[in-house]
Amino acid sequence: MGTPVARIRHLADHSGSEVRLQGWVTHLRSKGKIAFVVLRDGTGICQCVASVRDVSEEVFERICGLAHESAVEVVGVVKEDSRAPGGFEIGISDIRLIQGAEGYPIGRKEHGIEFLLEHRHLWMRHRRPWATLRVRDEVIKAVRDFYYDRDFVLIDSPILTPAACEGTSTLFETDYFNDKAYLSQSGQLYLEPACLAFEKVYCLGPTFRAEKSKTRRHLTEFWMVEPEVAWADLDEIMRLAEDFVAYIVERVLENRREELTILERDTSKLENLTTPFPRLSYDEAAEILTREENVARAKEAGAPPFEPGSDLGAMDETILGDLYGKPVMIHRYPVEVKAFYMEPDPNDPSRALCVDMIAPEGYGEIIGGSQRIYDHDLLLERIEEHGLAREAFQWYLDIRRYGGVPHAGFGMGIERMVAWLCGVHHLREVIPYPRTLQRIYP
């Protein structure tokens, strides 16, 4: 049947036998009569060695002339070698060029980030992006397992919508057969009815915000996972949120060590994130932020000072995120700085029953959530106060007329989570094709 095709991650299964490897040349070095080809496939890298003793002169010449990133098929014997990356080396007996790569634009020299993003379609093959996107894959698998194991039902929310969820200032508008439609900012409004059918639901999909700010924490297209739970109150979803985050961190540490090593992530900062996570009310957080040393820290960083009563800025989140060396949950923000659908706190109606989870190390808010208003008239009042079109929300009001119950949920930004886990500074590097204020190519 000929020589079997092997993948680099599974070379141990083929130790001592001849295999065919299909991949790309990431590095080439020749020394007299020996050539070393570092081959990459989708699963890892492996050193292949050719010697003029074992291959014809023609094959040897062909190897020495290979361009970086050429696609090749190598035939050779798998040899155990503890010094080689991955523990195995291939002794090449033959090589076939599938396609060359003369003039491949990404070199070994330092490129600027804009150049790399302009070549995202190629840059993806390189070590850091490869490791980052494999962590992302594990995060999404962990998200699905977490909810599946807890009896949540996946409800896919629509992307084209007639109404705003998270304020009208970041809406992407599009023409919908002579009507207006908006790209979804959040699946939440569509999950709320679904939680009256299934009790525990979640969605995971792309969301869109016309963010005009250019920051490391904002994309215009990002992925969000949102659970929504019937009968739940704020405390219950705070517990769900901390269990969820701790679970994802644990899964990534368990299954993506190699990738975190490639990324040079200091994993000690991710170990032992035991629950419960610390909780601070907005008022307690405000007190901390107005302490002299924190005012000075913000000033030094050139950030605007925290104003009690206002939403937290990026610097405020960084300060709070640094307090405990693990995520912190800030709850009960002033009603005015939060979305229209949040239930007011019965003990102090100027505060919303909401929570933001803030990650350490400057990654900011990774989760935002709340208990939802379930009284019909109060919700209608809020829709009108926020200047939202009542007609577009009739269906949403309906679930406050027909068997509504208290319910709560939250949203976690996948990219914020992945960036923190990977220790990657900017969100644009943790999504395959980033979309920002200045980028829609490739």
Name the residues that contact ligand 4AD, by CB under 6 A. Answer: 165-166, 186, 188, 209, 211, 218-219, 222, 224, 226, 365-369, 409-413, 415-416, 427
165 interface partner picked from Mg ion, ligand 4AD, none, CB below 5 to 8 A per type: ligand 4AD
219 interface partner picked from ligand 4AD, Mg ion, none, CB below 5 to 8 A per type: ligand 4AD
Whole-number CA gyration radius for the chain = 26
DSSP string computed for 268-286: GGTTT-PSSPPEEEHHHHH
* Segment lying near Mg ion (by CB under 5 A), choices 60-68, 72-80, 364-372, 430-438: 364-372
Could you say whether residue 409 binds Mg ion (CB under 5 A)? no
Cβ-based neighbours of 402, under 8 Å, separated by 6 or more: none
14 interface partner picked from Mg ion, ligand 4AD, none, CB below 5 to 8 A per type: none
Q: Strand (E) positions, 348-438? A: 348-352, 354-359, 364-371, 407-413
- How many angstroms separate the CA atoms of 138 and 47, rounded? 26
Smallest distance from ligand 4AD to CB 123, Å? 20
# chain residues binding Mg ion, by CB under 5 A: 1
Assess contact for 21 and 74: CB atoms under 8 A: yes
DSSP letter assigned to residue 131:
H
H helices within 179-275, ranges in order?
188-198, 234-255, 257-262
Smallest distance from Mg ion to CB 160, Å? 23
Q: Which is nearer to ligand 4AD, 334 or 411 (CB)?
A: 411
Smallest distance from ligand 4AD to CB 276, Å? 19
Find where tokens 């490639």 sit: 262
Q: Which is nearer to ligand 4AD, 64 or 337 (CB)?
A: 337
Q: Which is nearer to ligand 4AD, 40 or 217 (CB)?
A: 217
Q: Which is nearer to Mg ion, 76 or 368 (CB)?
A: 368
Among residues 350, 368, 349, the alpha carbon closest in space to that of 359 is found at 368
88 interface partner picked from ligand 4AD, Mg ion, none, CB below 5 to 8 A per type: none
Q: Which is nearer to Mg ion, 129 or 368 (CB)?
A: 368
Strand order in the sheet with 173-176: 160-161, 179-183, 173-176
118 interface partner picked from ligand 4AD, Mg ion, none, CB below 5 to 8 A per type: none
What crossing angle do the helices spanning 127-149 and 414-422 adopt, rounded to 10°?
120
- How many angstroms separate the CA atoms of 394 and 206, rounded? 25
Smallest distance from ligand 4AD to CB 201, Å? 11
Q: Which is nearer to ligand 4AD, 14 or 332 (CB)?
A: 332
Cβ-based neighbours of 377, under 8 Å, separated by 6 or more: none
Q: Which is nearer to ligand 4AD, 90 or 353 (CB)?
A: 353
Smallest distance from Mg ion to CB 188, Å? 11
- How many angstroms separate the CA atoms of 419 and 216, rounded? 10
366 interface partner picked from Mg ion, ligand 4AD, none, CB below 5 to 8 A per type: ligand 4AD
Which residue among 129, 227, 368, 404 contacts Mg ion (CB under 5 A)?
368
- How many angstroms separate the CA atoms of 308 and 21, rounded? 61
The residues binding Mg ion (CB under 5 A) are 368
